[in-house]
């Protein structure tokens, strides 16, 4: 496993990290993004999806649980599991469909379904730094042979 840490970053740096990570991922990859309320999970995903070439609105699917983006031969699923209370809710909603090789899947609040989610390729944790306008971000790469993140993005 590789681990990269960014400390005290601003919104532009968060955007650049999302853009650079997007360039390295492909269909079948799963990225789990954890962090407290308002930490920047959706902002990171928005920048990620926009950098892939989707220019419409990207919002958190807090109520719908999943938003899908199919464009330019890309298929990105954005899941927000914050409202799930049981593992069966994940299965009942048919969300496992988005964990296949047909999708690049971005999941906010993966801890809400940690017992049933498969292993991810990338785990990101975003939290507020000492200054509430800046963030600390940690990326854990579980597939270093496929996806070399040896240097900062």
Per the rule left: phi > 0, alpha: psi between -120 and 50, beta: everything else, 71 is beta
Please give the torsion angle defined by the CA atoms of residues 67, 70, 76 and 79, in that order, rounded to the nearest 10 degrees: 10
The correct CATH number of 2-141 out of 3.10.20.30, 3.40.50.2300, 3.40.50.1220, 3.40.50.300 is 3.40.50.300
d(CA 145, CA 13): 26
Per-residue confidence in pLDDT tens, the chain, 153 aa: 889 999 999 999 999 999 999 999 999 999 999 999 999 999 999 999 999 999 999 999 988 999 999 999 999 999 999 999 888 888 888 898 999 889 999 999 999 998 899 999 999 999 999 888 899 999 998 877 666 666 666
- Kindly report the pTM of this predicted structure: 0.92
Domain boundaries, the chain: 2-141
DSSP one-letter code for 112: G
């Amino acid at each position: 496993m590789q681990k990269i840490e960014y400390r005290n970053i601003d919104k532009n740096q968060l955007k650049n990290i999302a853009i650079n990570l997007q360039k390295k991922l492909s269909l079948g990859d799963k990225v789990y993004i954890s962090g407290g309320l308002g930490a920047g999970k959706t902002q990171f995903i928005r920048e990620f999806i926009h950098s892939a070439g989707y220019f419409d609105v990207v919002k958190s699917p807090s109520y719908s649980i999943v938003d899908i983006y199919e464009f330019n031969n890309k298929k990105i699923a954005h899941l927000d599991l914050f409202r799930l209370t049981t593992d069966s809710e994940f299965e009942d909603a048919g969300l496992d469909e988005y964990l296949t090789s047909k999708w690049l899947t971005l999941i906010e609040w993966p801890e809400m379904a940690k017992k049933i989610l498969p292993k991810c390729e990338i785990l990101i944790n975003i939290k507020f730094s000492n200054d509430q306008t800046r963030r600390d971000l940690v990326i854990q790469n579980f597939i270093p042979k496929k996806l070399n993140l040896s240097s900062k993005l």
